[in-house]
Structure 1
Amino acid sequence: MKERNWVALVLAVVLLKFLGYRIQASFTPADNYLIACGSSQNVTFQGRTFVPDSRHSSLSLKSGSSFVASSNSSVPSPIYKSARIFSGIASYKFHIKQEGRLWVRLYFYPLPKSGQNLTSSPITVVTDDIVLLNNFTFKNYNGSFLFKEYAISVTSNTLTLTFIPSNNSLSFVNAIEVVSIPDAVLPDRALSGLNPSASISGLSSSGLSEFAMETVYRLNMGGPLITAQNDTLGRTWENDVKYLHVNSSALNVSVNPASIKYTASITAETAPNWVYATAEAMGDANVPGMNFNVTWVFPVDPNFQYFVRAHFCDILSQSLNILVFNLYINDDIAYASLDLSTLTGGLNVPYYKDFVSNSSAESDTLTVSIGPDSMADTTNATLNGLEILKLSNDAGSLDGLSSVKNLLPRSSSRKNNIGMIIGCLAGAVALVMALIGFCFCCLASSKSKTTHQGHHPWLPLPLYGNSLTMTKMSTTSQKSGTASCISLASSSLGRFFSFQEILDATNKFDESLLLGVGGFGRVYKGTLEDGTKVAVKRGNPGSEQGLAEFRTEIEMLSKLRHRHLVSLIGYCDERSEMVLVYEYMANGPLRSHLYGTNLPPLSWKQRLEICIGAARGLHYLHTGAAQSIIHRDVKTTNILLDENFVAKVADFGLSKTGPALDQTHVSTAVKGSFGYLDPEYFRRQQLTEKSDVYSFGVVLMEVLCTRPALNPVLPREQVNIAEWAMSWQKKGMLDQIMDSNLVGKVNPASLKKYGETAEKCLAEHGIDRPTMGDVLWNLEYALQLEETSSALMEPDDNSTNHIPSIHLAPLEPFDISVSMINGGNSGTDDDAEDAATSAVFSQLVNPRGR
């Protein structure tokens, strides 16, 4: 069926090209500026004509320090053949005929033969009140050109685009579009979900017109690339395949575009009929049943909210009221029991729904999923198109935290006025602040004995009882409201820090001490009074996920102590703050030593020792407590290194107690970071210790190849490191993709053992994966092969086909033979104890020993 659909799609595309694909072009924009910057003649691009910026009668360029550049050599598109280069602040002023939203599209390409180093030129672009780009450069950008699309509200008869070069630098632009948007295309409302139970954070009670937007993703599900030439509003729609989490989970379907039945409220301006004529439906996810979701994963900036529009059209069904399914954004149900027949009244009728969401709390991604409704007769789901637009923040920015007024230089007269105002008010403000400070100190002193009696404003009762307690109520009547609780400080949960101590340790959360940002909040380096270095994680009151992390971290780390787990020193729960204090890890996260920084590369031995340390920590979690603990977010950012490069597992905010003895798994909502998620857990929502093993397998490949787990900018087959590295491992050519710094410096036998271990970890089904004890044993073996390669025999090809069966019996200090024992571990505890006494291996030779 999939092949037939693709044949139909290809034939339709050919027909589209042959007929010129004339769409219902009913909209004529009131404002339509197509500007070829620096060009001396008109430029035809995607069926439209761009006019030189020097010839446009309704456009004025204000700049006394700009010049043009052009190139006759190969460029990505004709629109990039010329550029206007600015050595000082310059602006384009557009005269606007009709107020409302406008598309502002910017084209950038650093012409290689312009005589200027445009690749390193920082680009900052602002409108009258919105920051579009802030210090972007091509230096660390993966692409050769940059196209940006924004939706800006204009309430006056002009729009000004200002280009701000940094000191002694240049800025440039190749082309600009300013085009009117029909009012119906971007309405003022977006829902957070139709269901009362829907929990997506949104702006359902707020208007969207006050926000500027930046197009981040616009996808044609299951269909071809649609360029501006084939869209009435000049939009580009790309295919969705590279964003699919599991490629085989989706199936392309298509119909004749002429069969799409637009309505009065949904027209070709909403989306071209090619978007609604193609779709992704549920394919083969290689699971026993059909109860799985089709998921798309999108890297996003976690500091912004996103407008999400999902396009639907039932081109699958043969009759009405058959197709009913669910739509998810991140881990939340955005729309439950979505019945397109009821909503549209027919087949092949377009429909869309708008939402506003943050990124996933656990990672810098936004996910969109479709899946069958459990009450429906048919097990299927569909999605035709998807648009994701970033919303401007409180600073009026779409790139960073700086506002327009902070980026534009102030006039000298304004500086003088501000200086006079400050001078007049300085004395009064100082006096008022002193009085307020004195009153505050008195008030704080009078209430110091009662501050711990009120409930924490973040915490729904009875999570902690009060701001310093766990939920353990006394026998005092709760009706009286005077029940006492057992304090955290008296429960061996670490030291309680006052908030003032936290402020002193972090120099009032000095941004220069910032170590990182996570779902819970920001992490700062701190120094206690006795000189002890600590890491201070300050919760974000607006993060619901942070609340769960605070509780879980304290509960988990208060009962866990291990050399390879980051230790919790204490906490602060005061002044409406939630703060966790950890031991300081001087060398930061493992990922920082793999890529993205200028830190020196790790040696192969260092990498093995780090992986072994992390494996020991995870093995302890799985086996060291009365009931196992599943970390659920194993990744290179959660493996931290101390000053001696000793690895410690961190961040237990998503951890979950493992299954009881009479259970095989824990049924729970999917949490974790995409790229590291166990596909079996993702599909079936069944969590086991083997889910951590899969994530650790991804870490092993990341350590070897020094690239992110997911990188959507790479070719499709390379996006997911697990799939890509496994394809090379199966060919026995893992050395072809490993870090270039390791080439020629790794013992082949050690690399072979390492690759086989990672391969077993990444097995599709959990039952086929080794335990963390087995993984640890094999990594230690790989380290020994590296350290004593001259005296060790390379293992036989069949010696590691089943990792749990491997035993090493030391005959001489450095003479080790490997044997295969069918049916699992048959050695005795004495055997394991003897092996552990050697200087070569740890006590974990027999995993059952722990």
Structure 2
Amino acid sequence: MSVVADDFVLLNNFSFKNYNGSYMFKEYAINVTSDVLTLTFIPSNGSVAFVNAIEVVSIPDSVLPDQALAVNPSSPFSGLSGLAFETVYRLNMGGPVITSQNDTLGRTWEDDEKYLHVNSSAVKVSVSPKNIKYPAAVTPETAPNWVYATAQSMGESNVTNENFNITWVFTVDPSYMYFVRVHFCDIVSRALNTLVFNLYINDDAALTSFDMSSITGDLDVPMYKDYVANSSGGSDSLTVSVGPDSAADATDAIMNGLEIMKISNDVGSLDGLASVNKILPSSPSKHMKTGVIVGSAVGAVAAVALIGLCYCCLASRKSKTTPNQGHPWLPLPLYGNSQTMTKMSTTSQKSGTASCISLASSNLGRIFMFQEILDATNKFDETLLLGVGGFGRVYKGTLEDGTKVAVKRGNPRSEQGLAEFRTEIEMLSKLRHRHLVSLIGYCDERSEMILVYEYMANGPLRSHLYGTDLPHLSWKQRLEICIGAARGLHYLHTGAAQSIIHRDVKTTNILLDENFVAKVADFGLSKTGPSLDQTHVSTAVKGSFGYLDPEYFRRQQLTEKSDVYSFGVVLMEVLCTRPALNPVLPREQVNIAEWAMTWQKKGMLDHIMDPNLAGKVNMASLKKFGETAEKCLAEYGVDRPSMGDVLWNLEYALQLEETSSALMEPDDNSTNHISGIQLTPIEPFDNSVSMIDRNSVTDDDAEDAATSARMVHRKMWLSSWPQECLENMPRNEVASQFKILFQAVATALDVLLLDSIDIGGEVKELVDLVARQARRARFELANDDERVADEVFGIISQFEKGIEPN
């Protein structure tokens, strides 16, 4: 949506989905030149415009002047009163957060510590707020006395190096200019004219040989300086520094407070290059427009208004109204609610701390104290570091009861990390599965974002494929790992009330426990899937290059099939033991998905597989594995299988591998019995086998004899069943896909019968495999060819009944 205030654009194509905290607060200042201030909210197509709270506060003209000093080059900058401002940073140096209850204009002043470039260079100093003596040019509306009563100082360091400064670093948009107000109050000197220092904005000197008391005439008297500056060298950072003057006897420097505001650009916008005329619809019938008309408390006299807009995630649903159903909001009086302002302004979008997330009462797992985390990780000992990811660093830890855990410590300044932190807690708190990494708890104390998981002893799958000296995985191990990961993803897609799409399936997010059981991890990018009446979820593209679904990348439409594509890349990575993307290789080999598919389509996948697997892989198993990966990597999602189908095919590939000692590669035109094994004919069933003299044997003997008779009967029936099945199979392409399964069962049965093995175990697994496929076929094909589907299902049912005890 977009938001317009009179002639200024405050927000343009803003989407709250990029702010996954509990709420987000924006503050603007504009000069109102009439008795009415109009705020207009314009929704984007297919969305809804909303706001949870608005507060408009009239402030004195002196708070925002018409002129300031521009730096680089140094010259007066006039006309500020005709521009709009957005508060980006407002800091209380050397002191705690000052809430709106302690500011006459309802502003919040943030603690400055996290913006300090070098913490050790600054020393906090403070005096009683009662000591502050406001002059005529500075009032509590300029800044509360709490701001001037604290400061960051260089202290009595006696450092003569003029390059030694206190520096604060801020992230800004380089396409805008910024209004910078620096607050000073000499609360450290014992005499006048002893504190002389320099002020720098970026690398430019804004003040040199600045003797504060020569201007104020006394100590503890506040003052401020205003500047207009750009970012540093066109980058996304702006720095403000204070440091000693080389000609001064003292080497101290201080700063008490700082405000940085974005200045509207040439088209009157604080968000992009679109003007009000471009954003506001030319005809009310084309778009829904919601207006908020705020009466000015000063009548027709111009006044500066401080506008606060609060957006809460509770209203982030999509609009179901038609574009022409606009309902303007009624005029609201200009009377703010200070309590509302307090609650909503204490954490801004820029804060990036976990304190703006209310999770404690949400029953989302164990809440750890930060001291417990420090004890578990030996104060984040680097020797316990397991890895580093986009969210942060992961350490091995040990809880007080001896439980081994993985501790993921996020970067508290990362807005993306904040979103991932909340998503992962909310997702994993609802999910429990053998093949999903379990979340034990979290810690959001001291602005930390820490997640505690079960410890996975063998780490990420990728480390067992390449780049390390770990032992090579066998083909069977690789299949079992892929099957485990597929089960986890299948559960995500089908096991919850609403499907969950992982969005970042890759070999580093598949972890292995001490028994090499695979578990899917890292749900920071996960998204709930489409509802029953939807085919996809429209969302910004996120994921890892090399694994991204090309259709999702092009259309920004997310489905479960996006995970299927990523999993197809994982399958090829497991087979070929090389990264998904390798830019140092020839162009045709850079992308593993494209490169491997060229070999798969030639039927020569064995030419590019891991050399350590050479001669150790059953070719039928490899063929099924390659076919499965190829289907996963289909260009269009509709052509890809579900994760359930992928799982079934991988299980079948494993079955082929496990029976490779007894099976040759299946062929559609023969049963392919193992060469060298001579089948011994089984005599027709003789009822005399079960005739037992009940007077001469015990009950146990009778039971053993009966069991033996049933076994002989079942073996005889099974010895003839597979061939009859193949002969009676419907002549249809749909049914032909089962022939390879029946042939495998037939060959296995021959071996089992010769070896006199109890067929209730091994064969039952093969029967279950065939039966599951038959049931799926009957369900999926019933509308297309009900007769064939029913015949296949009937054959399987006969097979299942044949091995049941009589």
Bin of the TM-score, shorter chain as denominator length: 0.3 to 0.5
TM-score by length of 1: 0.41
Higher-Rg member (1/2): 2
More strand by share: 1
TM-score by length of 2: 0.44
Highest relative contact order (Cα 8 Å, sep 6+), 1 or 2?
Answer: 2
